[in-house]
């Protein structure tokens, strides 16, 4: 039996392969490592340091009855007539926020810091991703579109880069960052599902218009946090989710964010005037039309908003808007209901021009007026 001796060439090839294997392995590892650093990872690293967790302690009044054990034992029903005593209790709520200026302005949703029936200002704390916890002072709110701004005192604050919500693509990647269920900084990714979602009826106390819809997971606690694109630019403020009914509180992939251009305008107003000036039109009450009422007014359909009350000497009054007029268009957009008209008007600012196409005394006409500042504006806790 003959034994095959390895050829000299085969030996050389074997040695070369043995020497190259570590280098090939290192190159493969580098490629894998590079593939992990996606655009989303880099965007999160840009935005997350400027995201804050917000904790709010509301001191609320509570009334209770004095209970006497001896009296309760012998006269169990007498406690119904015992006197009421006033006390206080703390209610804790929270959400997320975004540092938008180097001097410590933190943008969030109004409903994150609001919702207390007490006239006592809440205690607000802001926790940063670097471990710092800071006391925050309430500055101002836009009570209509659900935005608020807080102020913290600190050095070397990471500031978010605000993008342009007028340049968003349906289907592009987005990242929601916040503090859902108070778990701590949390990231979720998805796409822009739709743009310009209008809610004709108020959601709670707020009118949401031109909202960004996303399937990135948004849950309670995400409110006030940023929605960022793959470039690390904040394009929206996460505000609420659609759950399908009143009993589900988790995300089902339908979340909504306020466009960042709305927030820019809000921040500009605060920077210029120290607060959001309450706009004043003088239109006190609007009513939906019915088919019978539309026939009576000789209208072709029941779309529009019927004016039922206008304040004297107000901008709308001076423009000759009167009770019984029907608003059919506002700034070029057709109106279907009183709720839709109220939502559009409430998003206007002091100084904005309001053009109304109305049906008045049997004929169509157009009137215009500029919004003025509401007489004697009051702060939330005045």
Q: How far apart are CA 70 and CA 345, in angstroms?
A: 60
The verdict on whether 55 is a catalytic residue reads no
pTM value is: 0.75
pLDDT at site 202? 72
- Beta carbons within 10 angstroms of residue 183's beta carbon: 11
Whether 165 maps to a domain, the answer reads: no
Q: Is 223 a catalytic residue?
A: yes
Is residue 356 one of the residues assigned to a domain? Answer: yes
Q: Are residues 256 and 200 in the same domain?
A: yes
Residue with tokens 């709670």: 204
| pLDDT category of residue 74 using cuts at 50, 70 and 90 | low
The pLDDT tens digits for 207-233 are 888 899 999 988 888 999 999 999 999
Do both 334 and 366 map to the same domain?
A: yes
d(Cα 6, Cα 2) in Å, to the nearest integer?
13
Whether residue 308 is found in the same domain as residue 361 = yes
User: What is the Cα–Cα distance from 189 to 203, expressed in whole angstroms?
Assistant: 25
239: CATH: 2.40.10.10
| Among candidate residues 381, 348, 199, the one with its CA nearest the CA of residue 276 | 348
Residues 221, 242 within the same domain: yes
Tokens 């007489």: give the residue. Answer: 375
> 264 and 287 share a domain?
no
The mean pLDDT value for 307-329 works out to 92
Indicate if 327 and 365 belong to the same structural domain. Answer: yes
Calpha distance 41→173 (Å, rounded)? 12
297 and 266 in a common domain: no
pLDDT at 93: 83
Judgement on whether residues 287 and 340 belong to the same structural domain of the protein: yes
CATH of the domain at 290: 2.30.42.10
In-domain check, residue 324: yes
- How far, in Å, CA of 355 to CA of 366, rounded? 7
Which stretch of 107-111, 207-211, 246-250 has the lowest confidence by average pLDDT?
246-250
Concerning whether 93 is annotated as a catalytic residue, the answer is no
- In the 3-class helix/strand/coil scheme, how is the chain assigned residue by residue? CCCCCCCHHHHHHHHHHHHHHHHHHHHHHHHHHHHHCCHHHHHHHHHHHHEEEEEEEEEEEEEEECCCHHHHHHCCCHHHHCCEEEEEEEEEEEEEEEECCCCCEEEECHHHHCCCCCCCCCEEEEECCCCCEEEEEEEEEECCCCEEEEEECCCCCCCCCECCCCCCCCCCEEEEEECHHHCCCEEEEEEEEEEEECCCCCECCECCCCEEEECCCCCCCCCCCEEEECCCCEEEEEEEECCCCCCCCCCCCCEEEEEHHHHHHHHHHHHHHCCCCCEECCEEEEEECCHHHHHHCCCCCCCCEEEEEECCCCHHHHCCCCCCCEEEEECCEECCCHHHHHHHHHCCCCCCEEEEEEEECCEEEEEEEECEECCCCCCCCC
Given the residues 111, 140, 142, 239, select the one marked as catalytic: 111
Note the pLDDT of residue 224: 92
Q: Considering the domain boundaries, does residue 185 fall inside one?
A: yes
Same domain, 250 and 296: no
How far apart are the C-alpha atoms of 5 and 204, rounded to whole Å?
A: 87
Assess if residue 11 is contained within a domain: no
Tens-digit pLDDT profile for residues 320-337: 999 999 999 999 889 888
pLDDT of residue 108 exceeding 80, the answer is yes
| Residue after which a domain boundary falls, among 273, 305, 335 | 273
Confidence at 375, pLDDT banded by 50, 70, 90 = confident
Q: Which of 140, 165, 223, 251 is catalytic?
A: 223
Is residue 341 domain-resident?
yes
Contacts of 325 (CB under 8 A, 6+ apart): 306, 307, 358, 359, 360
Average pLDDT, the chain: 84
- pLDDT of residue 91 exceeding 90, the answer is no
CA–CA distance, 205 with 259 (Å, rounded to integer): 18
**Nearest Cα to Cα of residue 350 among 241, 270, 248, 296:** 270
Structural domain count, the chain: 3
Residue that finishes a domain, picked among 273, 290, 317 = 273
Q: 180 and 265: one domain?
A: yes
Indicate if 268 and 283 belong to the same structural domain. Answer: no
What value does the mean pLDDT take over residues 38-50? 91
- Of 215, 249, 273, the last residue of a domain is 273
Token pair for 179: 């503090």
- Interval 191-218 mean pLDDT: 86
Q: Decide if 159 is inside a domain.
A: no
* Domain shared by 62 and 141, yes or no: yes
368 in Cβ contact with 353 (< 8 Å) = yes
> Would residue 78 count as lying in a domain?
no
Domain residues for 311? 279-373
């Amino acid at each position: 039996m003959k034994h095959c001796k390895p050829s000299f060439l085969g030996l050389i090839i074997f040695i070369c392969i043995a020497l190259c294997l570590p280098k090939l392995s290192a190159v493969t590892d580098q490629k894998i490592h590079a593939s992990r650093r996606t655009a989303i990872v880099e965007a999160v690293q840009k935005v997350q340091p400027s995201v804050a967790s917000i904790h709010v302690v509301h001191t609320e009044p509570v009334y209770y009855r004095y209970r006497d054990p001896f009296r309760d034992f012998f006269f169990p029903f007498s406690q119904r007539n015992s006197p009421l005593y006033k006390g206080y209790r703390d209610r804790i709520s929270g959400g997320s926020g975004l540092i938008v200026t180097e001097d410590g302005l933190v943008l969030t949703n109004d409903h994150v810091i609001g919702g207390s029936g007490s006239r006592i200002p809440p205690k607000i704390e802001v926790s940063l991703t670097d471990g710092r916890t800071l006391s925050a002072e309430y500055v101002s709110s836009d009570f209509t579109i659900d935005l608020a701004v807080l102020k913290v005192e600190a050095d070397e604050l990471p500031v978010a880069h605000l993008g342009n919500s007028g340049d968003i693509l349906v289907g592009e990647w987005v990242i929601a960052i916040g503090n859902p269920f108070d778990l701590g900084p949390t990231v979720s990714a998805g796409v822009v599902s739709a743009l310009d979602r209008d809610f004709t009826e108020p959601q709670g106390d707020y009118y949401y218009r031109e909202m960004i819809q996303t399937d990135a997971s948004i849950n309670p606690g995400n409110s006030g946090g940023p929605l960022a694109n793959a470039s690390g630019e904040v394009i929206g403020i996460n505000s609420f989710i659609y759950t399908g009914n009143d009993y589900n509180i988790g995300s089902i992939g339908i979340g909504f964010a306020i466009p960042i251009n709305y927030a820019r305008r809000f921040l500009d107003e605060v920077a210029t005037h120290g607060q959001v000036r309450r706009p004043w039109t003088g239109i006190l009450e609007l009513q939906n039309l019915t088919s019978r009422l539309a026939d009576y007014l000789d209208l072709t359909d029941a779309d529009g908003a019927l004016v039922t009350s206008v304040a004297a000497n107000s901008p709308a009054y001076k423009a000759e808007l009167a009770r019984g007029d029907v608003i059919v268009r506002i700034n070029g957009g057709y109106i279907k209901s009183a709720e839709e008209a109220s939502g559009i008007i409430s998003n206007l600012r002091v100084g904005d021009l309001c053009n109304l196409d109305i049906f008045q005394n049997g004929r169509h006409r157009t009137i215009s007026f500029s919004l003025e500042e509401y007489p004697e504006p009051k702060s939330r806790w005045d």
